[in-house]
Amino acid sequence: MMLQLPKAFLLLTARADHVEEQSLSDVMIHHVANHYYQGMESWAFSKGVLMMLIAAVILMATLGWAFRKSQLNGRAPKGIANALEFFVLFIRNDIAIAHMGERFGRMFTPYLLTLFFFVLTCNLLGLVPGAYTATSNVNMTGSLAFCTLVLIIGSGLIVQGPVGYIKHMIPPGTPMALAPLLILIETISTFVKPIALMIRLGANMTAGHIVILSMISFIFIFKSFLVGIFFSVPLAVAIYLLEIIVAFIQAYVFTLLTALFVGMVTHSSH
């Protein structure tokens, strides 16, 4: 038997036309699933698509304004431009060049920067009340992971050539009888890497939102004001603050692993 939540909680968290029939699980699914916003069904924009468009507009406006202003002044960047430059230098030097070498690191830095800022913005937008976390949807994370897969295979084939790309799957000194098995294992591993990226990002961004909803729901489940003051609200706020940190960490991890996977087939040391 499903737990029925009070109407007051449902009015705050769900669509009004479904208030009478929704349970706790319905409310959670409504917030983590990629539905349409009420009144926008005819636009063919789901919540995830809308959030991605908003993230793209925010990034183009913010980055364009910040760096254009510093270039026009001809002085060292200050304020938001200085903060953004810190991320740019960190991703270029400590992620791209460190794992892909000087040549390929500089070559892939623009893509890695785009990936990092886009994922980060989508993560943070999901923390805005009434918004949706696009990176909690496997369609979105899967698309980003597919781009990583294309880069891994494409870079390997271009840099090493088809024959060299196959040879790098076989460690030197390996008996020829084991070569087909190793090639099969490495091929499977190549496709598992982006799948792991997809699941890791989506699961981490979904879990926090479910926990926050669960904490708030305890107020209405126990019908106690004290539960809200001393338990639900403090924990929900703590988890919300933790989610801000997680948003940065997940953007960093996705970018780092992308650079690492591509660097394994392009860097001369590999």
> What is residue 40's predicted lDDT score, i.e. its pLDDT?
62
- The rounded mean pLDDT for the chain is 81
Rounded Cα distance, 184 and 179, in Å: 9
Tell whether the model's pLDDT for residue 151 goes beyond 50.
yes
Strand partners, 30: none
Strand partners, 4: 23
Domain regions of the chain by residue span? 48-266
Burial (CB < 10 A; 0-12, 13-18, 19+), residue 122, is buried
Rounded Cα distance, 171 and 80, in Å: 47
Give percent above pLDDT 70 in the chain. 79
Look at the block and give the residue holding tokens 């990629």.
34
Identify which has the larger pLDDT, 104 or 78: 104
Identify which has the larger pLDDT, 257 or 1: 257
Q: How far is CA 78 from the centre of its chain?
A: 28
Tell whether the model's pLDDT for residue 14 goes beyond 50.
no
Tell whether the model's pLDDT for residue 215 goes beyond 70.
yes
Average pLDDT over residues 191-220: 87
Dump pLDDT digits (tens) for 81-138: 778 888 999 999 999 999 988 889 899 999 999 999 999 999 999 888 878 888 988 8
> What is residue 244's predicted lDDT score, i.e. its pLDDT?
92
> What is residue 246's predicted lDDT score, i.e. its pLDDT?
93
> What is residue 4's predicted lDDT score, i.e. its pLDDT?
46
Dump pLDDT digits (tens) for 51-74: 899 999 999 998 888 777 666 566
> What is residue 139's predicted lDDT score, i.e. its pLDDT?
87
> What is residue 76's predicted lDDT score, i.e. its pLDDT?
66
Burial (CB < 10 A; 0-12, 13-18, 19+), residue 54, is middle
Contact 227, 145 (CB under 8 A): no
Tell whether the model's pLDDT for residue 227 goes beyond 60.
yes
Q: Write out the chain in H/E/C secondary structure.
A: CCCECCHHHHHHHCCHHHHHHCEHHHHHHHHHCCCCCCCCHHHCCCHHHHHHHHHHHHHHHHHHHHHHHHHHHCCCCCCHHHHHHHHHHHHHHHHHHHHHHHHHHHHHHHHHHHHHHHHHHHHHHCCCCCCCCHHHCHHHHHHHHHHHHHHHHHHHHHHHHHHHHHHCCCCCCCCHHHHHHHHHHHHHHHHHHHHHHHHHHHHHHHHHHHHHHHHHHHHHHHCCHHHHHHHHHHHHHHHHHHHHHHHHHHHHHHHHHHHHHHHHHHCCCC
